[in-house]
């Protein structure tokens, strides 16, 4: 049928829309970043599909994004000649919440009140397409899917429903038209606003594109009107006469940051590029930029975030966040082959010259070259941790606080050399408030101390109150407090470090000199009856009652068998229902 159909937005979209429209204090500029990033994604997708179906992209055609500001009608257009959308895709992508980022935004908003109390939310998550409604009271999307000649027009006022109708004469790609809000229009539940007409000004647009989209690799262009001296037939300026000319100007610099010489890149440029990649508005903690030459050529630009993202522990989102490019073509945004899951918070880009362009996402998995790259990225990242630990201890401690639990997954998953990860781990300790490394622990070991003492528990206070500490502390020996839930799993694999055994204080046999042991066994014989009586009255609770040499002041303590689980581990398992 050739007439418009009205559809209701998915309930969650309505929630997003109302958050977006009513969060008055948010940085509205980012709507343009979101729409340009969608246009750029659409161009990437077209280029990717054209690798296997060259008819989609006629030779010689250039891909790009064009902005058009129509001051008379108050309309800003963002046009791309990318992949476009079919009718089904329009419904699925713009009527429901397609992006996982948007879903996470909703969750975070639900936890943190209504968007206006969390002005940074939209910036952090990039609500994507719906951010257009921050500045527009009506949005029209005209689109034609590559490989088809059917065009559609989608239109909505952001008020709960949208319309779709067939549209004639569209060429491949998508045009998003924003009817910008007029000043003072809001009022229902907000003060009169300044409106959004400033987004028709050349300098505003230029500035926003430079700020947020400079690294977009496709050109973002705009027709710019200039008054220039009028030229005569020979091309020489005629004195005193001017004319107005319009030229399509490219607003972004386009040069991918990773392709520039390392020494030339400023901290500001890194911060901006990091933001462009991640939507994280905090500055990155550090950057790693390196290349490999020889049989496998690639360049990597990786960042360590300074703050943990909200979905760090989301079990459905454990893949690497590094994008893979092959000769400037984006092959995969979150390429899980590039980094193991314990480094999933590392963000960045790898561009490889030697992979075939038509590599499919499926065959990537089996490509040994990616394994080779991964190995190097892991090595470089662990070296970066070590460098931070050494040179910026305070920042590293904060970083560890945010990401340590994830990094330790690398120990129990066996993804990398345990020893290398163990070297950069920080632990709480009886030595003081500050966290310590295993190397520092070993340096402080007392004469005659043979093992690294550790004790697991729910928190510092619980561990500090444990009678198990008494005898080691009396000998002035340090104890590491393993109070992160994953530590129990870490201990299963990390049983020694620097040739010292790591021994939990609550496991089986304590370290005991021979004469102490003899004395204890003697006493045990002597009091056989007493111990036996205790044993039989506690029969269901414990497997053995015996004297111990590890206490100083407390009368009794519970320990686990030598190969058994610690009490803390048992509690953890019980809590998780096992
Ligand atoms: P995200 O970009 O994170 O997926 P958005 O809300 O920004 O989420 O966009 C939703 C979806 O709409 C995109 O995933 C894409 O499929 C589609 N889309 C948006 N803009 C365009 C465009 N210019 N061309 C083609 N598809 C688009
Ligand atoms: Mg988007």
Q: Which among 307, 314, 311 has a CA at the least distance from the CA of 274? A: 307
**Report for 22-31, 223-232, 383-392, 467-476: range of highest mean pLDDT:** 383-392
Q: Is the CB of 42 under 6 A from ligand 1?
A: yes
Nearest CA among 85, 191, 200 for reference residue 135: 200
Q: What distances in angstroms separate CA 104 from CA 29, 111, 549, one per listed residue?
A: 21, 11, 53
Q: Whose CA is nearest to atom 13 of ligand 1?
A: 93
Spatial distance between the Cα atoms of 398 and 396, rounded to a whole number of angstroms: 5
256 pLDDT tier (thresholds 50, 70, 90): confident
Residue 78 has pLDDT above 50, yes or no: yes
Q: Is the pLDDT confidence value at 516 over 80?
A: no
Is residue 468 over pLDDT 70? yes
Nearest CA to ligand 1 atom 23: 39
Å from CA of 130 to ligand 2 middle: 9
In this prediction, does ipTM exceed 0.85? yes
Would the pLDDT of 163 be above 90? yes
Please indicate if the annotation marks 342 as binding a ligand.
no
Q: How far is CA 552 from the centre of its chain?
A: 48
Is residue 80 in contact with ligand 1, taking CB distance under 6 Å? yes
- Among 73-77, 383-387, 416-420, the range scoring the smallest mean pLDDT is 416-420
Residue 141: pLDDT above 70? yes
Alpha helices in 139-266, H assignment, sequence order: 202-212
Answer whether 39 contacts ligand 1 (Cβ < 6 A): yes
Q: 435 labelled as ligand-binding?
A: no
Lowest mean pLDDT among 78-87, 150-159, 297-306, 545-554: 545-554
pLDDT digits (tens, 9 = 90+) for 303-333: 999 988 877 877 777 888 899 988 877 788 8
Per DSSP, the residues of 112-173 read S-SGGG-TTHHHHH--GGGGGGGTEEEEEEEEE-TT---EEEEEE-SSSEEEEEEESSPPSE
pLDDT score of 572 = 63
Looking at every residue in the chain, the average pLDDT score rounds to 86
Q: Would you place residue 168 in the very low, low, confident or very high pLDDT band (cuts 50, 70, 90)?
A: very high
Q: Tell me the mean pLDDT in the region 62-70.
A: 96
Mind listing the pLDDT tens digit for each residue in 24-33? 546 788 899 8
Q: Confidence band (pLDDT; 50, 70, 90) for 523?
A: confident
Task: Give the rounded percent of residues in the chain with a pLDDT score beyond 70.
Answer: 87
Residues 6+ apart with CB under 8 A from 100: 317
Report which protein residue has its CA nearest ligand 1's atom 20: 38
258 DSSP 8-state letter: G
Ligand 2: centre distance to CA 289 (Å): 26
Average pLDDT over residues 391-414: 93
Q: Which residue has the higher pLDDT, 108 or 274?
A: 274
**Residue 129 labeled ligand binder:** yes
Ligand 1 atom nearest residue 130's Cα:
6
Residues in contact with 485: Cβ distance below 8 Å, sequence separation at least 6, in sequence order = 405, 572
Give the contacts of 387 (CB within 8 A, at least 6 positions apart): none
Reported as a single tens digit per residue, the pLDDT across 339-353 is 999 999 999 999 998
Q: What is the DSSP string of 472-537?
A: HHHTT--EEEE-STTHHHHHHH--EETTEEEEETTBSSPP--HHHHHHHHHHHHHTHHHHHHHHHH
- Is residue 228's pLDDT more than 60? yes
Mean pLDDT lowest among 307-311, 318-322, 376-380, 496-500: 307-311
- Whether 29 is in the pocket of ligand 1, judged by its Cβ within 6 Å, is no
- What's 221's DSSP letter? E
Which of 32, 34, 38 has most ligand 1 atoms within 8 Å of its beta carbon, as the pocket-test mutant?
Answer: 38
Contacts of 402 (CB under 8 A, 6+ apart): 305, 306, 307, 308, 312
Confidence band, pLDDT 50/70/90 cuts, at residue 355 = confident
Protein residue with its CA nearest to atom 3 in ligand 1: 99
pLDDT at 115: 46
User: For 175-196, what is each residue's pLDDT tens digit?
Assistant: 999 999 998 755 555 555 678 9
Q: Best-predicted range by mean pLDDT among 350-354, 529-533, 561-565? A: 350-354
pLDDT of residue 453: 95
Dump pLDDT digits (tens) for 87-99.
999 999 999 886 6
Q: What is the pTM of this model?
A: 0.69
pLDDT confidence tier of residue 569, bands split at 50, 70 and 90: low
CA distance 183 to 400: 47
Does 80 count as an annotated binding residue? Answer: yes
Closest CA to 422 of 436, 408, 435, 442: 408
Ligand 1, atom 27, lies closest to the CA of 38
Rounded distance, CA 250 to CA 432, Å?
Answer: 58
Neighbour-count burial for 397-411, b at 16+ CB within 10 Å, e otherwise: eebbebbbbbbbbbb
């Amino acid at each position: 049928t050739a007439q418009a159909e009205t559809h209701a937005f998915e309930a969650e979209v309505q929630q997003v829309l109302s958050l977006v429209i009513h969060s008055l204090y948010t940085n509205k500029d980012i709507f343009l970043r979101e729409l340009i990033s969608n246009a750029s994604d659409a161009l990437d997708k077209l280029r990717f599909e054209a690798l296997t179906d060259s008819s989609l992209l006629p030779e010689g055609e250039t891909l790009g994004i064009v902005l058009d500001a129509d001051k008379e009608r108050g309309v800003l257009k963002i046009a791309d000649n990318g992949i476009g959308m079919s009718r089904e895709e329009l419904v699925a992508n713009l009527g429901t919440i397609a992006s996982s980022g948007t879903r996470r935004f909703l969750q975070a908003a639900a936890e943190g009140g209504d968007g206006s109390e969390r002005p940074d939310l939209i910036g952090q998550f990039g609500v994507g397409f719906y951010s257009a409604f921050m500045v527009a009271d009506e949005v029209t999307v005209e689109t034609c899917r590559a490989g088809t000649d059917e065009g559609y027009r989608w239109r909505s006022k952001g008020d709960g429903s949208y319309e779709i109708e067939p549209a004639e004469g569209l060429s491949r790609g998508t045009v998003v038209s924003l009817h910008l809000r007029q000043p003072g229009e809001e009022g229902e539940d907000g003060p009169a606003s300044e409106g959004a007409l400033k987004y028709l000004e050349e300098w505003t647009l230029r500035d926003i594109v430079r700020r947020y989209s400079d690294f977009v690799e496709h050109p973002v262009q705009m027709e710019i009107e200039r008054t220039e001296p009028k030229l005569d037939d020979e091309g020489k300026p005629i004195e005193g006469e001017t004319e107005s000319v319009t030229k399509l100007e490219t607003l972004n610099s386009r040069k991918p940051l990773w392709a520039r010489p390392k020494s030339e890149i400023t901290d500001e440029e890194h911060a901006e590029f990091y933001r462009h990649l991640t939507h994280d508005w905090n500055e990155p903690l550090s950057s790693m930029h390196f290349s490999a030459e020889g049989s496998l050529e690639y360049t990597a630009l990786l960042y360590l975030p300074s703050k943990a993202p909200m979905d760090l522990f989301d079990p459905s989102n454990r893949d690497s966040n590094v994008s893979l490019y092959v000769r400037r073509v984006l092959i995969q945004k979150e390429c899980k082959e590039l980094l193991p899951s314990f480094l999933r918070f590392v963000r960045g880009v790898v561009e490889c010259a030697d992979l075939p362009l038509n590599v499919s996402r499926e065959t990537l998995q089996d490509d040994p070259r990616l394994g080779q790259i991964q190995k190097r990225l892991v090595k470089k990242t662990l070296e970066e941790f070590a460098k931070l630990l050494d040179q910026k201890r305070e920042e590293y401690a904060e970083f560890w606080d945010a990401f340590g639990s994830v990094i330790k997954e690398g120990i129990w998953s066996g993804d990398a050399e345990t020893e290398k990860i163990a070297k950069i781990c920080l632990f709480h300790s009886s030595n003081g408030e500050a966290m310590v490394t295993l190397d520092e622990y070993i340096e402080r070991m007392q004469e005659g101390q043979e093992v690294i003492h550790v004790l697991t528990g729910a928190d510092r206070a619980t561990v500090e109150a444990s009678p198990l500490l008494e005898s080691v502390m009396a000998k002035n020996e340090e104890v590491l407090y393993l109070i992160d839930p994953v530590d129990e799993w870490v201990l299963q694999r990390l049983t020694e470090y620097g040739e010292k055994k790591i021994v939990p204080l609550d496991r089986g046999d304590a370290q005991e000199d021979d004469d102490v042991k003899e004395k204890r066994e003697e006493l045990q014989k002597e009091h056989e009856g007493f111990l036996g009586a205790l044993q039989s009255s506690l029969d269901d609770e414990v497997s053995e009652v015996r004297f111990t040499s590890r206490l100083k002041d407390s009368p009794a303590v519970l320990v686990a068998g030598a190969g058994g689980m610690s009490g803390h581990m048992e509690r953890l398992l019980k809590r998780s229902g096992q």
